[in-house]
Amino acid sequence: MAEAAVASPLKVWRERDGALLRLRLNRPKANICDAQMIGALQAAFDAEARAKSNVRGVLLDAEGAHFSFGASVEEHLADRCAAMLASLHALILTMAAFPAPILVAVRGQCLGGGLEIALAGGPIFAAPTAQFGQPEIRLGVFAPAASCLLPWRMSAVAAEDLLTSGRSAGAAEALGLGLVQAIADDPEAAALAWFDEHLAGRSAAALACALAAARAPRLRELRERLAEVERLYLDTLMKTHDANEGLAAFLGKRAPVWQHR
Q: Give residue-wise pLDDT tens across range 82-108.
A: 999 999 999 999 999 999 999 999 999
Side chain identity at 166, as an amino acid letter?
G
Domain that holds residue 53: 10-188
Residues 6+ apart with CB under 8 A from 126: 105, 106, 107, 132, 171, 174, 175, 180, 182, 183, 184, 187
Q: How far apart are CA 117 and CA 24, in angstroms?
A: 13
Structural domain contains residue 152: yes
Q: Show the beta-strand stretches assigned E in 16-78.
A: 20-25, 57-62
Indicate whether 44 belongs to any domain.
yes
Residue spans of beta strands (DSSP E) within the chain: 10-15, 20-25, 57-62, 102-106, 109-111, 124-126, 131-133, 168-170, 182-183
Task: Assign residue 76 the CATH number of its domain.
Answer: 3.90.226.10
Is 198 within a domain?
Answer: no
Q: What is the pLDDT along the chain (261 residues), one digit of tens a residue?
A: 344 455 799 999 999 999 999 999 999 999 999 999 999 999 999 999 888 789 999 999 999 999 999 999 999 999 999 999 999 999 999 999 999 999 999 999 999 999 999 999 999 999 999 999 999 999 999 999 999 999 999 999 999 999 999 999 999 999 999 999 999 999 999 999 999 999 999 999 999 999 999 999 999 999 999 999 999 999 999 999 999 999 999 999 999 999 999
**Has residue 199 been placed in a domain?**
no
Nearest alpha-carbon partner for 85 in 34, 122, 136, 120: 34
Parallel, antiparallel, or unpaired: how do β-strands 57-62 and 102-106 relate? parallel
Whether 81 is covered by a domain: the verdict is yes
Q: How far is 160 from 206, CA to CA, in rounded Å? A: 36
Q: Is 196 part of a structural domain of the chain?
A: no
| Distance separating alpha carbons of residues 60 and 240, to the nearest angstrom | 36
Residue 4 in any domain: the answer is: no
Instruction: Provide the number of structural domains found in the chain.
Output: 1
User: What's residue 49's pLDDT?
Assistant: 85
Relative orientation angle of helices 81-96 and 112-119, to the nearest 10 degrees: 30
Q: Kindly state whether residue 248 falls inside one of the protein's structural domains.
A: no
pLDDT for position 1: 36
pLDDT for 6 equals 59
CB atoms within 10 A of CB 77: 16
